[in-house]
Amino acid sequence: MEQKRVVITAAGAATPLGLTMEQTWEQLCEGASGIDKIKAFEPSGFPCQLAGEVPDFKVRKYVPKKYRKATKLMCRDIELAVVATDDAIRTAGLVTKAIDGDNINIDPRRTGINIGAGLISCDLEEIAPAVSRSLTDGKFDIKKWGKEGIQYLTPLWLLKYLPNMLACHIGIIHDIQGVSNTITCGEMSGLLSVIEAAETILRDFCDISVAGAAEAKVNPIVMSRQCILERTTKDYNDTPDKACRPFDKNATGSVFGEAGAILILEDFENARKRDAAPLAEIAGVGQSASINKEYQHLEPDGKAIAIAVKKALADASIEPDKLDLIIPHGTGIPADDMAETRGLNTSLGESAERIPVFPSKSMLSTTGAASGAIDLAIAAKAILEGKIPAARNCDEKAEGCNLNINRELKETKINYALCCGYTYGGQTAAIVLKNING
């Protein structure tokens, strides 16, 4: 049997820079920032008042009429995944049950779904009234809660917040019945989901996979968690577009946000048969784990990044000097950016100083699980268009950073692009994309 190849035939997204990948890409190329004052709640009492929030949308518009009622069971994370998937499926030219039930052009059983998610927090405004019914002398009383308070929650409350519900809703909306998984590895959920989706195609479990991730981090509890873990900047509340500064000397932490990014992965032969033009090929993948006493940070020498990148290059059968673009994790958290820089130097050698680096979070914020999937979508667009957007806010490189941060929109042929990253907890991943017309 011929060696199978996995290609990306479309990228869909809902990001702080737009409700489609096309809009997001245009905005990135124009140098826009998606970071602003938080609108989801009144942030003045919080140390960091900034976030990358997705422009307003109504999820009802993205689902078939019959399914509108079920949108009540969608938390924001699910909504973002639904919107991004709609974009991806339409862009790919796939006709699913939701697009046009009479002209379906996928085999539901041979279509897989692998959508990563974060730790979803419940909507506090929804649960607060129930809590307020469960007080004794102003204090929360678990006995009252068990007896009365919980009755004020909708019966299906839990189902809104299970991480696998992103994939489940999308599976129902588009009638996708094949292999299905939900990877929950923090900020690596996106890259790992795409890797696993590609594996399911290689091992012939499916011909097409809807893969990526979504997460909505703009929830007071989630934002506060990042704050007390000291991953958030508190210093740029008056200048939102300057706040997220990966690899910059004046970086003091990241800004968090929300997004969904979904790729359509396809067996190359399947894409060829239906005349779909791939954006790029998944040429190689690598994974590892950081081992660090402080679980919230990447180990200082970035060894786990180095292992993952080396494995991805070996899997793609290329040397580091073949890379024309790197999209790193680059959060703006100084210790992590430094560790990642070291990992890239270890794995890429001299090429680390030459290859253009585009830290997308400088414009999109750190969107949790979604971040790796967005980076892949950006890398695929960059390859297709032969363009690398300019990163924001890296005005003067941090001491010890020798990476070639791309600061001006660059038009250039990209043969190979690398996306890599890590998450709190330590999992790392790297993916090499190849220009199919290379």
Residues 302-341 that bind another protein (CB under 8 A): 303-304, 307, 311, 315-317
256 phi, psi to nearest 5 deg: -105, 160
Residues 366-405 that bind another protein (CB under 8 A): none
Contact 407, 259 (CB under 8 A): no
Rounded CA-CA distance 115/211 in Å is 5
Closest by Cα among 88, 78, 48 to 237:
48
Contact 395, 155 (CB under 8 A): no
- Quick one: which of 119, 272, 407, 438 contacts another protein (CB under 8 A)? 119
Residues 85-114 that bind another protein (CB under 8 A): 108-109, 113
Rounded CA-CA distance 214/261 in Å is 6
Stretch that binds another protein, among 82-90, 234-242, 384-392, 419-427 (CB under 8 A): 419-427
CB of 392 to another protein, least distance (A): 28
Say whether residue 124 binds another protein (CB under 8 A): yes
Nearer to another protein, 140 or 321 (CB): 140
| CB contact set of 30 (below 8 Å; sequence gap of 6+) | none
Say whether residue 39 binds another protein (CB under 8 A): no
- Quick one: which of 68, 107, 142, 402 contacts another protein (CB under 8 A)? 142
- Quick one: which of 60, 90, 144, 234 contacts another protein (CB under 8 A)? 144
CB of 141 to another protein, least distance (A): 9
Angle between helices 334-348 and 303-315 (to 10 degrees): 40
Say whether residue 3 binds another protein (CB under 8 A): yes
Say whether residue 137 binds another protein (CB under 8 A): no
| CB contact set of 54 (below 8 Å; sequence gap of 6+) | 14, 15, 16, 19, 80, 258, 259
Nearer to another protein, 68 or 143 (CB): 143
Closest by Cα among 365, 281, 352, 287 to 321:
352
**String marking each residue 229-258 x if it binds another protein according to CB under 8 A:** xx----------------------------
Say whether residue 45 binds another protein (CB under 8 A): yes
Nearer to another protein, 303 or 381 (CB): 303
Closest by Cα among 7, 43, 34 to 363:
34
Rounded CA-CA distance 301/288 in Å is 14
Listed as own residue / partner, the contacts of 205-208 with beta carbons closer than 8 Å and 24 or more positions apart are 205/112, 205/178, 205/179, 206/110, 206/111, 206/112, 206/178, 206/179, 207/107, 207/110, 207/111, 207/266, 207/267, 207/270, 208/94, 208/106, 208/110, 208/111, 208/112, 208/264, 208/265, 208/266, 208/267, 208/270
Say whether residue 267 binds another protein (CB under 8 A): no
Stretch that binds another protein, among 22-30, 139-147, 242-250, 348-356 (CB under 8 A): 139-147
CB of 343 to another protein, least distance (A): 13
Contact 84, 260 (CB under 8 A): yes
Contact 223, 237 (CB under 8 A): no
Say whether residue 140 binds another protein (CB under 8 A): yes
Residues 50-79 that bind another protein (CB under 8 A): 70, 73
Say whether residue 41 binds another protein (CB under 8 A): yes
Contact 385, 339 (CB under 8 A): no
Residues 157-216 that bind another protein (CB under 8 A): 157-159, 161-165, 167-169, 171-172, 174-186, 188, 192, 196, 198-199, 202-203, 205
| CB contact set of 345 (below 8 Å; sequence gap of 6+) | 352, 402
CB of 72 to another protein, least distance (A): 11
CB of 7 to another protein, least distance (A): 11
Nearer to another protein, 109 or 354 (CB): 109
Say whether residue 265 binds another protein (CB under 8 A): no
CB of 387 to another protein, least distance (A): 26
